[in-house]
């Protein structure tokens, strides 16, 4: 019941912005985990999506912990999109923490502490507790205001009833204020949490459905509660281990959650919390919800972070780790050794590797259609064909960037539909990587620190060495 209220407020406060992956609603799989051609914003990458779906199924069943998945593929092949799809498919309760490999180096704490915090953000604890709740229909509310303002606090009485009984409660100042805030009036069905005094309005009683003056179009009608006024209800709270750490680590703990200034959390605090959570699990008060930690650009981590990951994955309270990289055989950061994807062999061995393939022309067309719809841009058929061709020749990301730019060019000439001329105009205005490189080759002498192809020996070698 308290959860119901939370989900309502969450929907109201969502900020709608169009981002790079805002069109993705899930992985686009059917009930047999087979990928649909175009679904939930996902296009192509069938084998990768199917593999991600299998992992997702394991996560939902809570079967696996401490597993790691590597999404490896060329730039612009939808690795982050698959991770976002996984996050959306998991639902509200499963924690999903996302970070870039380079973030660790910009924080004011040690790399291992930052990784540990990210790990604990991705592990949820579902805590069950029983509370006493008064659930009834309000018959009448009487509030006595003192004759002299400010001389005495307000007092009052409230009559509540269920189908079986009716009782009059005395009200204190706090309850009167809470009732005023919720705009409670006679005929409303309310629930009062006895421990916190929180009032939740459940709706209006069906008996009052004829009071036309006292309701708006959003009014929800409910039956008058049955049985006793006071009931015991089980309430479920979902928090992450990191939130519990922060709240217990300093005096104004829960404020640190909002300011983000958590600082380093001592190992003793974490140990105590782990022991407590283990106790709750045994008593049946809590259960662990292993979530997902997604690290993009994992090649940016250094050898110390990799060795930390090796150790952390073996912990029984580890989340599922999903990492992504677009590097081939490259140097492991912090060493002189090269390895596939810039990840040490001992960690690679623990990873299930999902590879993503470049998109075909047909898939690029479908993605551009979805993006145009997401960005509210209407395009003619010819313009779409041209944009698809640009996507194939240059890159998918470049083609996506041109959508809104072309829409603005169309707006400028007061057109309704984006035509080929708008695409051509923005194509000339904004260079893609290939044309930019070609331009640099032609005019490289006019740029600073240009590295002219070196002659045998001579000063150029020294200049190049100094620059690099």
The answer to the question of residue 428 being in a domain is: yes
> Residue 329: which H helix or E strand, with range?
strand 329-331
pLDDT at 295: 93
Distance CA 21, CA 105 (A): 25
The answer to the question of residue 460 being in a domain is: no
Which SS3 state, helix, strand or coil, does residue 261 take? Answer: coil
pLDDT at 318: 85
Instruction: Based on the fold, state whether residues 304 and 229 are members of the same structural domain.
Output: no
Instruction: Based on the fold, state whether residues 183 and 197 are members of the same structural domain.
Output: yes
**Following CA atoms 72, 76, 80, 84 in sequence, which dihedral angle do they give, to the nearest 10 degrees?**
-130
Dihedral pair phi/psi, residue 276, rounded to 5°: -65, -45
Answer whether 89's CB lies under 8 Å from 28's CB: no
- Check which CATH number belongs to the domain holding 347 and give it: 3.40.50.300
DSSP code at position 36? P
Instruction: Based on the fold, state whether residues 331 and 301 are members of the same structural domain.
Output: yes
Distance CA 430, CA 415 (A): 21
pLDDT at 345: 92
pLDDT at 156: 81
Question: Which residue among 322, 355, 388 closes a domain?
Answer: 355
Instruction: Based on the fold, state whether residues 121 and 140 are members of the same structural domain.
Output: no
Q: How many domains does the chain have?
A: 3
Instruction: Based on the fold, state whether residues 259 and 343 are members of the same structural domain.
Output: yes
The answer to the question of residue 377 being in a domain is: yes
Instruction: Based on the fold, state whether residues 220 and 294 are members of the same structural domain.
Output: no
**pLDDT under 50 in the chain at which residues?**
1-15, 454-468
Instruction: Based on the fold, state whether residues 133 and 225 are members of the same structural domain.
Output: yes
The answer to the question of residue 210 being in a domain is: yes
The answer to the question of residue 387 being in a domain is: yes
Q: What is the pLDDT of residues 437-458, one digit of tens each?
A: 888 888 877 877 766 554 444 4
Range of the domain at 292: 38-125+246-355
pLDDT at 260: 58
Which SS3 state, helix, strand or coil, does residue 26 take? Answer: coil
Q: Which pTM was predicted?
A: 0.69
List the alpha helices (DSSP H) in 151-252. Answer: 173-181, 241-249
Distance CA 396, CA 401 (A): 9
- Check which CATH number belongs to the domain holding 170 and give it: 2.40.50.360
Measured between alpha carbons, how far is residue 24 from residues 28, 38, 52, 85, 148 in Å? 9, 11, 15, 6, 60
Distance CA 231, CA 455 (A): 88
Dihedral pair phi/psi, residue 330, rounded to 5°: -145, 170
The answer to the question of residue 12 being in a domain is: no
Which SS3 state, helix, strand or coil, does residue 143 take? Answer: strand
Instruction: Based on the fold, state whether residues 292 and 366 are members of the same structural domain.
Output: no
């Amino acid at each position: 019941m308290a959860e119901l209220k939370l989900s309502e407020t969450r929907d109201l406060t969502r900020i709608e912005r169009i981002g790079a992956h805002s069109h993705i609603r899930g992985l686009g799989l059917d009930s047999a985990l087979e990928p649909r051609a175009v679904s939930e914003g996902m296009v192509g990458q069938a084998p990768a999506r199917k593999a991600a779906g299998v992992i997702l199924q394991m996560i939902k069943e809570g079967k696996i912990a401490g597993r790691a998945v590597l999404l490896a593929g060329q730039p612009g092949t939808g690795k982050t999109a698959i991770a976002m799809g996984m996050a959306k498919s998991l639902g509200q309760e499963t924690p999903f923490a996302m970070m870039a490999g380079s973030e660790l180096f910009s924080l004011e704490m040690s790399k291992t502490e930052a990784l540990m915090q990210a790990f604990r953000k991705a592990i949820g604890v579902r805590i069950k507790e029983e509370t006493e709740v008064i659930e009834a229909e309000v018959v009448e509310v009487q509030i006595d205001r003192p004759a002299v303002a400010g001389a005495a606090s307000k007092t009052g009485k409230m009559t509540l009833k269920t189908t079986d009984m009716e009782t009059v409660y005395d009200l204190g100042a706090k309850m009167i204020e809470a009732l005023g805030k919720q705009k409670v009036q006679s005929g409303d069905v309310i629930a009062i949490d006895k421990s916190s005094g929180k009032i939740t309005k459940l709706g209006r009683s069906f008996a009052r459905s004829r009071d036309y003056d006292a309701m708006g179009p959003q009014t929800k009608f409910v039956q008058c509660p049955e049985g006793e006024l006071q009931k015991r209800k089980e309430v479920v709270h979902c928090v992450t281990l990191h939130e519990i750490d922060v709240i217990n680590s300093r005096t104004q703990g829960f404020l640190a959650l909002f300011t983000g200034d958590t600082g380093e959390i001592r190992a003793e605090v974490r140990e105590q919390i782990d022991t407590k959570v283990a106790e709750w699990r045994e008593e049946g008060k809590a259960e662990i919800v292993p979530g997902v930690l997604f690290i993009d650009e994992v090649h940016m981590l250094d050898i110390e972070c990799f060795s930390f990951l090796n150790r952390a994955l073996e912990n029984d309270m580890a989340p599922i780790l999903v990492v992504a990289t677009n590097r081939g055989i490259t140097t492991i950061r912090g060493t002189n050794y090269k390895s596939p994807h810039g990840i040490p062999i001992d960690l690679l061995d623990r990873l299930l590797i999902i590879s993503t393939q470049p998109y075909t022309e047909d898939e690029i067309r479908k993605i551009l259609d979805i993006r145009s719809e997401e960005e509210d841009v209407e395009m003619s058929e010819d313009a779409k064909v041209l944009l698809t061709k640009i996507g194939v020749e240059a890159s998918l990301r470049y083609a996506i960037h041109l959508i809104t730019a072309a829409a603005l060019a169309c707006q400028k000439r007061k057109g309704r539909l984006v035509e080929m001329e708008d695409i051509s105009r923005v194509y000339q205005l904004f260079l893609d990587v290939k044309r930019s490189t070609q331009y640099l080759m032609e005019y490289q002498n006019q740029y600073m620190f240009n590295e002219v192809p070196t002659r045998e020996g001579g000063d150029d070698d020294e200049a190049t060495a100094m620059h690099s």
